[in-house]
Amino acid sequence: MYKEFNIDFKEQKGWFKFQQWLIDKLTDTEGALIPIGPEALQKWPKAEKDYQVFLENASRLMIRFKKPERLIKMIVNIIDEQLGTTHTAMLLYKEDKNSFILIDSKGESGVKIPIGFIRMTFDNPLIKIFDERKNYIISENGVLVYENIVSLMKNAETIEKHKELADLTELALRQMELLKANICIPLYYKKSLIGVLILGAKRSKQKFTRQEIGFFMTLANDAAMAISNAQLIQNLQERIDEIKDLYTKEHRVFIHTAVALATAIDARDPYTHGHTERVTQYCLSVSEELEGIPEAQAYRNFKETLHIAALLHDVGKIGIPDAILNKRGKLTKKEFEKIKEHPAIGAAILTPIKELGDVVKEIRYHQERYDGKGYPEGLKGNDIPLVARIIAVCDTFDAMTTDRPYRQRKFAETALQEIRNESGRQFDPIVVSAFLLAYEKGKILRNHRK
């Protein structure tokens, strides 16, 4: 049984890990002991495994939805059907209304007001607590659990110490009662409150355990990122639709839209700010050295395909958690495997946009290696599209010559030598020659240390 939890009792930290795990299993959210028998003991590992499977399945489903409202309805529906709560609902911030709107509500005891008619401004006590992060004063994990707050409000010392917060918390409790909420979990994205997940009681009448609350917190974090990504894609699609209606053959506005999306992606990581713009400039410079080759001429519009693909090559990173993208240190194997998903995620996100055409495959394959050891499909040589092979060289050069959280940038000459060394292995020799030629001609911006 111990092996199932990877606990090494030969080390002191192994005993501490086991003790902490045991405390979590034997106590409810208030720290009280949970009565258990042999049957419950046998179910612990399975329940923990089931939650993990549920999270993985939910995450895979989330990325498929391009519209935030549909995504929220899916999340509410699967919680209602599979996790045994009497009521599940979600509020989402709508910028055009400057309010949090009830998007969906399911269950046997849910809110009876029609969907969309509940609107909460930032003055609402529940929203105010979450928006101003006062929930972390009330609760260590930031989750508001009704019975815990009721117990807290009976503590005279706590009320005396936080008088102003006590009044606000009392109002928030009344709001939770109106919503029939047993638990309220905030959804934050880039430090901004974008929604609230509302849960009723458990159908089993038992209290939520720490493990269950932790599970819902993880689900809320995943949902926040997925909703924000869906909003970003929806905004892009809406903008593209506008362009189609106004300019049938005009591509410049579309390029500007792609630039805006690329800028939004770069903004997630201060260390890669400007990365997309530089890679695009490098690619266009290299394209001037390759325009005459048959592969380039086979494209309907070689330069435009390269331009758009370079701008959007990292769009899949919106599906990668900030904690991994911005990590100050070496990635674990599991984290690196997550990073490797970004070309396929980017292709999946952009496939519905028919106007992109062949651009999608260039984005999917820009991390392939010339020797066939790349990802996601291990394509080799000329099986990798030319545009993708160009992006691979330019992307690598910029990555090596800019600072990252875990290392300083390399000298330009050092990076160039590494690219020469990888010619025929990681990179297409023809593209490498074109890149080096463009660099020598001064077409590659020399804004790096020499």
Contact assessment for residue 318 and residue 234, using Cβ atoms and an 8 Å cutoff: no
Tell how far CA 106 is from the center of its chain.
26
pLDDT category of residue 257 using cuts at 50, 70 and 90:
confident
In the predicted model, is pLDDT for residue 363 greater than 70?
A: yes
Asked if residue 234 lies in contact with residue 116, where contact means CB atoms within 8 angstroms, the answer is no
Nearest in space to 362 (alpha carbons), one of 380, 347, 342: 347
pLDDT tops 60 at residue 263: yes
pLDDT of 323 > 60? The answer is yes
User: 33 pLDDT exceeds 50?
Assistant: no
**What pLDDT is recorded for position 146?**
92
pTM assigned to the model: 0.51
Which domains are assigned to the chain?
1-28 (no CATH), 36-225 (3.30.450.40), 247-440 (1.10.3210.10)
What is the residue-wise DSSP string for 229-275?
A: HHHHHHHHHHHHHHHHHH-SS--HHHHHHHHHHHHHHHTT-GGGTTH
Assign 245 a pLDDT band (cuts: 50, 70, 90).
low
Confidence class for position 446, pLDDT limits 50, 70, 90: low
| Long-range CB pairs of 64-71, under 8 A, 24+ apart, other chains included | 64/348, 65/226, 65/230, 66/230, 66/233, 66/234, 66/237, 66/349, 66/352, 67/230, 67/234, 68/92, 68/103, 68/227, 68/230, 68/231, 68/234, 69/103, 69/104, 71/223, 71/226, 71/227, 71/230
Instruction: Determine contact, residues 224/195, Cβ cutoff 8 Å.
Output: yes
157: its two tokens: 């010392």
Q: What is the pLDDT of residue 252?
A: 60
Mean pLDDT of the chain: 81
